[in-house]
Structure 1
Amino acid sequence: MNGKVKHFLLLTGSTLIMSVGTYFFKFTNNFTFGGITGLAVLVAKTGFMSASDFTFVMNMILLVIGFLVLGKKFAAKTAYCSILLSVTLSVLERVYPMSHPLTDQPMLELCFAIALPSLGSAILFNIGSSSGGTDIIAMILKKYSSFDIGRALLVTDILITVAGCFMFDIKTGLYSFLGLAIRSFMIDNFIESFNLSKYFNVVCDTPEPICDFIVHTLGRSATVCLAQGAFSGKDKYIIFTALNRPQAIKLRNFIKENQPEAFILISNTSEIIGKGFHSI
């Protein structure tokens, strides 16, 4: 698949996932964690405007400010997702209006209110984009100050969540605090899972067949070092290579079948920088 098409599909799919989680599970349950959409729940309670419309208005205002302050490069990365999220929420509100939650299980709905937006955010962060909102404020602060942005956004989220305890009820507020606590960890775990690769250390007597399989079948490369067994004193070879998960399964099976006496050490890693993986 063309790289630009894949990037566009990831932007669109992740934003739609965020929209579904926010509209069907977050807004209807009055969960107030999470930036602009959390603030939108509070505004909707006042009757001034709906949560979806407030999200749309605020995202458009922040987009314009971000474009003026941060320039065209910012717009290219963020505008599409921010507009799509805002428009989708407004369309859902008009096509499928909801006066009450989908179920009578708030904990179940909280799980989806956390998981779906976190998954969408993680995909966007992983490809160097975002859905706008408070991320725009963070980018502006980062450009013009040495302010601790992460801490500032966390404090803002906490204040919005505390306000939810007073505007709704303590039960809803506690659910919102739980969502706030879990959300950031879930985003990090999603990103780590997306980038998970396998690092191989293979100790063997004849490295050529294994290296040939890595290079010509898997399309990867490897590094071979001469070593010596501490117990036997015999010459050994160590093959170092990094693979994605499907390739790792193929290599493991190949070695087990063709050189069962080889010693294999396989490690999980989510940070591999270089050709074929992440660029610096």
Structure 2
Amino acid sequence: MGVRLSKDKLTSYFFTIISCFFFALAINLFIKPNHIVGGGVTGVALVINRYIPWGIGLIAYLLNIPIMIMSFRIKGVSYTIKCLIVTTLLNFLIDALAFLPAMTNNPLIGAGYGGVFFGISIGLNYRYNVSSGGTELLGQLIITKFKHITIGKILIIIDGCIVLIGSLILNNPENVLLALMMIFVGGKVSDLVVNGFDYVRMCYIITAHEDEVASELMRQSNRGITKLNGVGMYSKKDYGVLMTAVSKQQFTRVKESVLRVDRNAFVIIVNTSEVIGKGFK
């Protein structure tokens, strides 16, 4: 068990370094050359860098100091030290790779590729449970005091203000659209990094012929099926509710099997990012 834990930690450290590397590349290859101000502490650092000729990484590191002090008081020593190590590595790489030439001078392409690189970095952070500080950590700290607000809303407010203020300071209204595009692309890519391409669909099938439908499904998809008992609140009739998880390759065949047995079946499909168990992970 000790060897396994050590291996897991080494894997986490390795991908943390990769995450910081992709973030630094996004800044130096696409974001800074095209003067795009996204959210986060690095967005503020990019604006300050236009007027103070310090490295973006150094500025971002200094901006993170008050957040780290708050983290120390709220989250404790061990969590803050872990964040501080990642933040130090990230901002060091941003300045160390500042010599790299721009990959494009087209802001639209820069926002797209910047979003891809940011998405890889953010996805790896989520997947291996690390934080690089900045507004993400600030949002986690704020939510401990204002529990009625979700972390998503907090980050939207903080990053939205940074994007708007940065656009006004730089007199670049197009930056708002570019930042939104970058955030959207980054979100999609981070979801792929965390969940992969092989998403699963959860099927809920409400039918008066549950035994026949279940038999046909098990014959066609070779997946486990769970029967739930349901009552139609309008008709007051008892119905069987069949629940099963299938891969995207099996979904069409499952749908056809259900309708072949019961044309009046009510089928609910839910996209599920992850299923753990026999036949899956």
* 1:222 aligned partner: 225
| Counterparts in 2 of 1:140 and 1:226: CA distance versus 1, 3 Å | closer
Structure 2: runs of 5 or more not aligned: 231-238
* 2:179 aligned partner: 180
Structure 1: runs of 5 or more not aligned: 166-172, 228-235
Aligned residues between the structures: 249
* 2:49 aligned partner: 44
* 1:241 aligned partner: 244
* 1:269 aligned partner: 271
* 1:155 aligned partner: 161
Structure 2 Cα separation of the partners of residues 7 and 276 of structure 1: 23
Structure 2 Cα separation of the partners of residues 112 and 57 of structure 1: 27
Structure 2 Cα separation of the partners of residues 137 and 183 of structure 1: 21
What is the CA distance between 1:49 and its match in structure 2? 0.8
Structure 2 Cα separation of the partners of residues 146 and 255 of structure 1: 42
% identity of equivalent residues: 13
Q: Report which stretch shifted further, 5-14 or 15-24.
A: 5-14
For 2:138, give the aligned amino acid. I
For 1:136, give the aligned amino acid. L
| Counterparts in 2 of 1:269 and 1:141: CA distance versus 1, 3 Å | same
* 1:124 aligned partner: 125
Q: Give the superposed CA RMSD.
A: 4.3
The answer as to 2:77 corresponding to 1:75 is no
What is the CA distance between 1:154 and its match in structure 2? 2.4
Residue pairs, 1:1-280, within 5 angstroms: 4=9, 7-59=12-64, 62-72=67-77, 74-75=79-80, 78-93=83-98, 96-98=99-101, 101-125=102-126, 128-144=129-145, 149-150=154-155, 151-165=157-171, 173-190=172-189, 194-195=194-195, 196-201=199-204, 205=212, 207=214, 211=218, 221-224=224-227, 239-243=242-246, 247-249=247-249, 251-252=250-251, 261=260, 267-270=269-272, 276=277
The question of whether the paired residues in 1 share the 8 Å contact of 2:45 and 2:56 is answered with yes
- TM superposition score normalised by structure 2: 0.66
| Counterparts in 2 of 1:120 and 1:266: CA distance versus 1, 3 Å | farther
CA deviation vs aligned residue, 1:30-70 (integer Å, no higher than 9, x gap): 22222221222222222431223322443456435523442
| Counterparts in 2 of 1:190 and 1:114: CA distance versus 1, 3 Å | closer
Structure 2 Cα separation of the partners of residues 70 and 17 of structure 1: 27
CA deviation vs aligned residue, 1:43-102 (integer Å, no higher than 9, x gap): 222243122332244345643552344213533663443233212212212xx344xx33
| Counterparts in 2 of 1:90 and 1:224: CA distance versus 1, 3 Å | same
Structure 2 Cα separation of the partners of residues 213 and 80 of structure 1: 51
CA deviation vs aligned residue, 1:172-230 (integer Å, no higher than 9, x gap): x234211332344445444555544311357773746855997xx77xx4303699xxx
Structure 2 Cα separation of the partners of residues 56 and 33 of structure 1: 17
For 1:110, give the aligned amino acid. A
Structure 2 Cα separation of the partners of residues 48 and 60 of structure 1: 20
For 2:175, give the aligned amino acid. S
* 1:230 aligned partner: none
| Counterparts in 2 of 1:129 and 1:205: CA distance versus 1, 3 Å | same
| Counterparts in 2 of 1:20 and 1:146: CA distance versus 1, 3 Å | same
